[in-house]
A = this chain, B = another copy of it.
Amino acid sequence: MALRIARHGRGWQVRPSDILRVGPGFDLGGFDTSATPGFDGGKAAGEAAIATLGGRLSELQEKLYAESRAGGSRAVLLVLQGMDTSGKGGISRHVLGMVDPQGVQVRSFGVPTPEERRHHYLWRIRRALPRAGRIGVFDRSHYEDVLVVRVDGLVDGDPWLERYREIERFERQTEEAGITVVKCALMISPDEQLARLAERLERPEKFWKYNPSDIDARERWDDYMHAYQDVFDHTSTPSAPWHVIPADRKWYARLAVTQLLVDTLTDMNPSWPPPGFDVSAERARLGALLTERADADREPPASRRKGRRKGR
């Protein structure tokens, strides 16, 4: 019997990280992409929860930013993976859209450019890491180099185990540099994907999101699931675990990612930096300036909204 009282946030029965994190024996084959694990409530409750969490996320990010301005180096990196139409772009728009754009850096990784191709596959990734105080979002990521690159046979040999180790090392270095990595894979069913692709063919303003090759990728669906399973088995570490998120219901995927970010930032516990100056002394200094200007104007200090420049 499900608990009726939310233990963690409104509607969540368990901390989503606990239920969505890849654990030993995780099997993608039996994964239900239409489920809403851990959340007791439907779409309306989910969307209400997202709106509430948005304020919290925004405040936590602002604290992290303030911390960075005082010399802190911490940041968050959200890695988003998933098949075409799984909703990665929607996470950027609807979840990160609740945060000050100054604190967000979204980066999409498509087919490498000729310049990127001349470098190691992590080269473009390292250059895109978020600056201190920001939430970075990778819409696709270095994992493309063990997913599409593997399924499409774009490199010779069998470098996957080596790449997993390389990626693990890279993520450890990233964490050591102060960037907390949150990895989310959005999983949809083939049926759901088909419906979403069909939607893109309905209106001319959606055509640009459609690519005939997306259909070809569908034909290798099982190969992709196999590659994802291997990624989860080999690159889910205690400090940078994978979260596998059912994404047939967009509201649930957005809610889960929002809550994961809020929980991550809450654990990081950023705080308003202490003032690097004497608050009383500065208040006195400003007070004196206010009095001085009022005297100079030979009238009571202008009220906030009526302040005018006096012939300067």
Chain A residues in contact with chain B, CB under 8 A?
29, 31-34, 66, 69-70, 89, 92-93, 96-97, 99-102, 104-106, 108, 137, 139, 189-192, 194-195, 197-198, 201, 204-205, 207-212, 215, 218, 221-222, 225, 248-249, 272-275, 277, 279, 282-283, 285-286, 289-290, 293, 301-302, 304-310, 312
Whether A215 contacts B289 in the complex (CB less than 8 A), given A97-B101, A108-B102, comes out as: yes
B277/A210 in contact, CB under 8 A: yes
24 residue pairs of the A-B complex, CB under 8 angstroms, read: A66-B208, A70-B208, A92-B100, A92-B102, A97-B100, A99-B101, A102-B139, A189-B309, A191-B293, A191-B307, A191-B308, A192-B307, A195-B304, A195-B307, A197-B286, A198-B286, A201-B282, A204-B272, A205-B272, A207-B275, A210-B282, A212-B282, A215-B282, A249-B305
Task: Tell me the complex Cα distance, A93–B211, Å.
Answer: 34
Task: Tell me the complex Cα distance, A248–B304, Å.
Answer: 9
Task: Tell me the complex Cα distance, A207–B273, Å.
Answer: 8
> Smallest CB-CB separation from A218: which chain B residue?
B289
Task: Tell me the complex Cα distance, A70–B110, Å.
Answer: 13
- Of B29, B221, B309, the contact of A33 (CB 8 Å cutoff): B309
Task: Tell me the complex Cα distance, A289–B106, Å.
Answer: 34
CB distance from A54 to the nearest CB of B (A): 11
> Can you add 12 more A-B contacts, CB < 8 Å, to A34-B308, A248-B307?
A66-B209, A101-B137, A102-B139, A190-B312, A191-B309, A192-B304, A197-B286, A198-B286, A201-B279, A207-B274, A212-B285, A218-B289
> Smallest CB-CB separation from A304: which chain B residue?
B195
Q: Could you say which residues of chain B place their CB within 8 Å of the CB of A194?
A: 286, 289-290, 293
